[in-house]
Structure 1
Amino acid sequence: MDLLIKKQGLTINTSDYGLNCLKFRPQSVSHNHQTETLENFDGLIHTGTTFGSRDLQASFVVEEGSHVLLNLLISELHALFATKEQIYLIDSRQPGKQWRALVNSVFDIDYKNPFTGTYDLNFLSPRSFCESVGTTLDEFTFDSNLWQVGMNLPADRDLVYRHTTNQFQIYNAGVYLEPDKLPLRILFKGASNNLTIKNKTTGETFIYSGSSGPNDTIVLDRIQHFKNNTNIFTYTNHKRISLLTGWNDFEISGTDGSFEIVFDFRFYYL
């Protein structure tokens, strides 16, 4: 197997550095339970649970033709993995998913002989979820090399995220997507008056009390609202739109003439 690293705009295959990846293992998600105690009440009262960060473990075998070359390679590896920024990790066995990660361990080689050693690394994923490499605006074909089996993608229906009608469906292949926690952009392009976007599946409704012209764009970017890059949050009902796993039924009103609405997001997986 190979481990791919996306760093500073580059995609690097660790095998190009002579690393034979023996293991890449995301640890299970941790559960952070919030509880309270009450006097004269047995046990605890559960008030909520959140998922924690994820530990990612990788192990490699590295081999060179001489001890000197092996030491030179180790210096290259130190430079490769020394970063203060988040990187992305992709397991070649699941090429459609990527992990946001921070290097989270001291790393050095364990020599097996003068020419060979093992190289172990720990990473920390600040998010509880990995994400799809592709977005909903990419082409949904396996030829695009962005998707894989095991991503909960339906085989019996086309996935469409650009719509020009007042009623349509949006499919979310991943976990429940809350825009205050995970990225979600909804772009409406066209004329409107009191634009209303409703997710009938969740019961959530967004309303913009102003108007827009045929060439205007209204954007719901997570929990922020913009019209042509100007913040219009004050003129909305301050509501968000989230997406349940699976199909979400949408209805739009307040449109005036032709329009397009676009949903731009990734899928997130445990």
Structure 2
Amino acid sequence: MELTIQKEGLTINPSDYGLTCLKFHKQSVAHNHLTETMESLDGVIHTGTTFGARELQASFWQKGDNHILLQLLIDELHQLFATREEIFITDSRQPGKRWKALVNSTYDIDYINARTGKFDIDFLSPRPYCESIGTTLDPFTFDSELWQVGMNIPTDRDLVYKHRTNRFQIYNAGVYLDPSKLPLRILYKGASNNLTIKNKTTGDTFTYSGSSGANDTILLDRIQHFKNNVNIFSDTNHKRISLLTGWNDFEITGTSGSFEVIFDFRFYYL
């Protein structure tokens, strides 16, 4: 097993720091239950549940050619894990998924001998989900080295995320995707008048009361709406499009002439 770390846009191989990963595991999802009490009512009323952040733990050997080189590697290790920003962690046992994480503990090197040490370190994933390394705009082939088994990706049907027809389907392999909480970009390229995009599976409907030309692009970026990079939120119905797990049926009206609609997102997993 190996862990690959991405920090500040760079992919880091822990072996360059003399590291060998002994253990990496994630804790179960934390459930945050929202409740209310009412006079004369036994117990509480459940009003909702959210998932908390996810704790991750790793254990490493660190080895140098001699004691002095081990000390230099330890200094480099401190530099690696001294960061205020989120890093990405990928477990080689699941190479198609990555965790966005923060370093969440101090750590001490326990010396096994003069040139070998061992330590444990904790990480915190602000989201309860890991995410696919690939996006819906990447090729869905195992040759791309972006995907793996266990990602709920169907093999009996092609996955298409660029469409030129008014009715089509979009597949979401991960958890329910609410763009107010997780990234989702929908681009419409082409002419339109009173454009409407509807996910018939969820009932979500986006409408734009204006028009667009053949060379224009309308973008739904999470909960923001743009036309050619200019905010048009006030000219829409202020709604967002979400995606259920599995197939989602879409219908577009208000189109004029040829057009293309593109769905750009990652899959998220517990």
> Counterpart of 2:31?
31
Query: How far does residue 113 in structure 1 lie from its aligned partner after superposition?
Result: 1.6
User: For the residues of structure 2 that align with 1:220 and 1:126, how far apart are their CA atoms?
Assistant: 24
- Count of residues paired in the alignment: 270
Q: Secondary structure at the residue paired with 1:257?
A: strand
How high is the sequence identity, in percent, across the aligned residues?
76
> Counterpart of 1:234?
234
User: For the residues of structure 2 that align with 1:65 and 1:254, how far apart are their CA atoms?
Assistant: 68
TM-score of the superposition, structure 2-length normalised? Answer: 0.99
Matches within 5 A, 1:64-103: 64-103=64-103
Query: How far does residue 11 in structure 1 lie from its aligned partner after superposition?
Result: 0.5
Query: How far does residue 56 in structure 1 lie from its aligned partner after superposition?
Result: 0.6
1:178-205 CA-to-partner distances (Å, cap 9, x unmatched) read 0000000000000000000000000111
> Counterpart of 1:144?
144
1:118-175 CA-to-partner distances (Å, cap 9, x unmatched) read 0211001101100000100011111111100000000100100000000000000000
> Counterpart of 2:47?
47
The alignment yields a C-alpha RMSD, in angstroms, of 0.7
Q: Which letter does structure 2 place at the counterpart of 1:200?
A: K
> Counterpart of 1:128?
128
Q: Which letter does structure 2 place at the counterpart of 1:45?
A: I
Query: How far does residue 46 in structure 1 lie from its aligned partner after superposition?
Result: 0.2
Query: How far does residue 107 in structure 1 lie from its aligned partner after superposition?
Result: 2.0
1:11-60 CA-to-partner distances (Å, cap 9, x unmatched) read 11112222110111111110000001100001110000000000110101
Query: How far does residue 68 in structure 1 lie from its aligned partner after superposition?
Result: 1.4
Q: Secondary structure at the residue paired with 1:262?
A: strand
Matched, 1:215 2:215: yes
Q: Which letter does structure 2 place at the counterpart of 1:72?
A: L
> Counterpart of 1:19?
19
User: For the residues of structure 1 that align with 2:79 and 2:221, how far apart are their CA atoms?
Assistant: 36
Matched, 1:198 2:198: yes
Q: Secondary structure at the residue paired with 2:143?
A: helix
Q: Which letter does structure 1 place at the counterpart of 2:126?
A: P
User: For the residues of structure 2 that align with 1:155 and 1:51, how far apart are their CA atoms?
Assistant: 30
Query: How far does residue 115 in structure 1 lie from its aligned partner after superposition?
Result: 1.8
User: For the residues of structure 2 that align with 1:269 and 1:31, how far apart are their CA atoms?
Assistant: 16
User: For the residues of structure 1 that align with 2:258 and 2:12, how far apart are their CA atoms?
Assistant: 44
Structure 1 unaligned residues grouped into runs of 5+: none
Q: Which letter does structure 2 place at the counterpart of 1:209?
A: S
> Counterpart of 1:160?
160
> Counterpart of 1:115?
115
Q: Secondary structure at the residue paired with 1:203?
A: coil
Q: Secondary structure at the residue paired with 1:158?
A: coil
